[in-house]
């Protein structure tokens, strides 16, 4: 399959909702789509990454209002275990139509939960909108702490904003200090599980989005499934987004394709390397487990 997955259209967009764009780093796509879907009754609630009990630690929450969505808006640098709340949302909250946002691997988890609902009772037909975010790799919370507190020498609670770009991990504090760490130091902090991930642009989401490929303040949006298409068309008709054709923005789709290819090629090598990781007594290779072949 193509590294960008199946999609019906790809477009550069940003939200026309100022409340939302103020809070989000890119085009505010996810928040705007969920707000629209809530308003229209397409979803009854959305599982998003809300604030946790420690600074910059995300905690999944079920947002049922725009205010709750706004409280959760913005990029996270550590994964929020949103799938943890799926049954909570459908069974404890009793939601019939659930939205969920997540990384490419979390979109894979959503589809597996729908196709093979082994321990996911009454979930398959309740996922009304699965929104994916582009993801190169993720950090554990402790890794983020090491970067912010050790490398950048700032306290987690004093950090106002974090940013990845131009070869640096940048931390901005409330008091105006700016600290940076070169991105090449990042690799040792990447979660091991990310190194076998074969998806960059959330191929299995209904709609996926990320900043790569579009100008500052805009997002690249892939509209993928029938459901995604219907929601996107509705949101466009409601004037919720400004859009530009992908071939008219810089740096454009080529950059997305390039990064996707890089990620997948690198990680496919990692997956393959697992097959010959060790050594058997007879001199042949001893492999690690390969989740893409057998449980």
Partner 1 sequence: MPGRTPEKRPEGQPAATQPQAKPAVKPSDVIVKEKVEVVQKEEKPVAEKITIGELHLSGCTGCLVTLADNYEGLFKLLDDYADLVYALTLVDVRHVPEMDVCLVEGSCCLNDKTSVEELKEARAKSKVLVAYGGCAAYGNITRFSRGGQWNQPGHEAYVPISEVVDVDLYIPSCPPCPQQVRNVAVMAYLLLRGNDEQKNLATAYLTPLMQLAQRGNEACGCDLLYDVINQGLCMGCGTCAGTCPVRAITMEYGKPNVNRDLCIKCGACYAQCPRSWFNFDVMNNYEGIMDAINGAMQ
CA distance 75 to 59: 13
> Is 273 an interacting residue with respect to partner 1 (CB under 8 A)?
no
Is residue 153 at the binding interface for partner 1, with CB under 8 A as the rule?
Answer: no
Options 103, 208, 209, 220; binder of partner 1; rule CB under 8 A: 103
Q: Is 188 among the residues that bind partner 1 (CB under 8 A)? A: no
Q: Does 8 bind partner 1 (CB under 8 A)?
A: no
HEC profile of the chain: CCCCCCCCEEEEEEECCHHHHHHCCCCCHHHHHHHHHHHHCCCCEEEEEEECCCCCCEEEEEECCHHHHHHHCCCCCECCCHHHHHHHHHHHCCCCCEEEEECHHHHHHHHHHHHCCCCCCCCHHHEEEEEEECCCCCECHHHHHHHHHHHCCCCHHHEEEEEEECCEEEEEECCCCEEEEEHHHHHHHECHHHHHCCCCCCCCCCEEEECCCCCCCCEEEEECCHHHHHHHHHHHHCCCEEEEEHHHCCCCHHHHHHHHHHHHHHHHHHHHHHHCCEECCCCCEECCCCCCCCC
192 binds partner 1 (CB under 8 A): yes
Residue from 75, 179, 180, 195 that binds partner 1 (CB under 8 A)? 195
In whole angstroms, how close is the CB of 94 to partner 1 at the nearest point? Answer: 16
**Residue 178, interface with partner 1 (CB under 8 A)?**
no
Q: Which stretch binds partner 1 (CB under 8 A): 7-15, 16-24, 27-35, 101-109?
A: 101-109
Q: Could you say which of 41, 184, 280, 283 contacts partner 1 (CB under 8 A)?
A: 280
Smallest distance, partner 1 to C-beta of residue 277, A:
9
Binding pattern to partner 1, positions 26-65, x when CB under 8 A? -------------------------------x--x-----
Per rule CB under 8 A, count of chain residues that contact partner 1: 65
Nearer to partner 1, 87 or 258 (CB): 87
Q: Which of 24, 106, 211, 214 binds partner 1 (CB under 8 A)?
A: 106
Residue closer to partner 1 by CB (options 248, 294) is 294
267 forms part of the interface with partner 1 (CB under 8 A): no
- Regarding 231 and contact with partner 1 (CB under 8 A), the answer is no
Provide, rounded to whole angstroms, the least separation between the CB of residue 138 and partner 1.
7
Q: Which of 146, 164, 196, 230 binds partner 1 (CB under 8 A)?
A: 196
Q: Which residues contact 126 (CB under 8 A, 6 or more apart)?
A: 90, 95, 96, 97, 98
C-alpha distance from residue 172 to each of 69, 85, 146, 164, 235 (Å): 24, 31, 16, 12, 34
Residues that bind partner 1 (CB under 8 A): 1, 5-6, 57, 60, 78-88, 102-103, 105-106, 108-109, 111-125, 138, 140-142, 191-198, 203-204, 225-226, 275, 280, 286-295
């Amino acid at each position: 399959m193509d590294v960008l997955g199946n999609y019906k259209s790809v477009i550069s967009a940003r939200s026309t909702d100022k409340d939302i764009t103020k809070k989000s780093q890119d085009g505010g796509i996810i928040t705007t789509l969920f707000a629209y879907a809530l308003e229209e009754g397409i979803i009854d609630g959305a599982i998003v990454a809300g604030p946790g009990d420690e600074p910059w630690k995300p905690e999944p929450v079920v947002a049922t209002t725009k205010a709750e969505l706004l409280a959760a808006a913005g990029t996270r640098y550590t994964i929020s275990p949103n799938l943890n709340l799926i049954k909570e949302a459908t069974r404890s909250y009793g939601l019939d139509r659930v939205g969920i946002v997540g990384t490419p691997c979390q979109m894979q988890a959503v589809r597996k939960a729908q196709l093979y609902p082994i321990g996911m009772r009454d979930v398959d037909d309740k996922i009304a909108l699965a929104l994916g975010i582009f993801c190169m790799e993720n950090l554990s919370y402790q890794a983020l702490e090491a970067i912010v507190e050790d490398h950048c020498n700032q306290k987690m609670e004093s950090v106002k904003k974090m940013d990845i770009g131009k070869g640096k991990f940048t931390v901005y504090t409330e008091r105006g200090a700016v600290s940076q760490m070169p991105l090449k130091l990042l690799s040792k902090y990447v979660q091991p599980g990310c190194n076998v991930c074969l998806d960059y642009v959330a191929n299995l989401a209904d709609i996926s989005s990320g900043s790569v490929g579009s100008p500052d303040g805009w997002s690249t949006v892939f509209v993928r499934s029938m459901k995604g298409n219907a929601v996107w068309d509705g949101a466009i008709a409601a004037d919720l987004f400004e859009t530009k054709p992908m071939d008219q923005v810089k740096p454009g789709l080529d950059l997305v394709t390039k990064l996707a290819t890089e990620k997948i090629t690198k990680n496919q090598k990692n997956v393959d390397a697992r097959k010959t990781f060790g050594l058997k007594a007879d001199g042949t290779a001893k492999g690690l487990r390969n989740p893409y072949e057998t449980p």
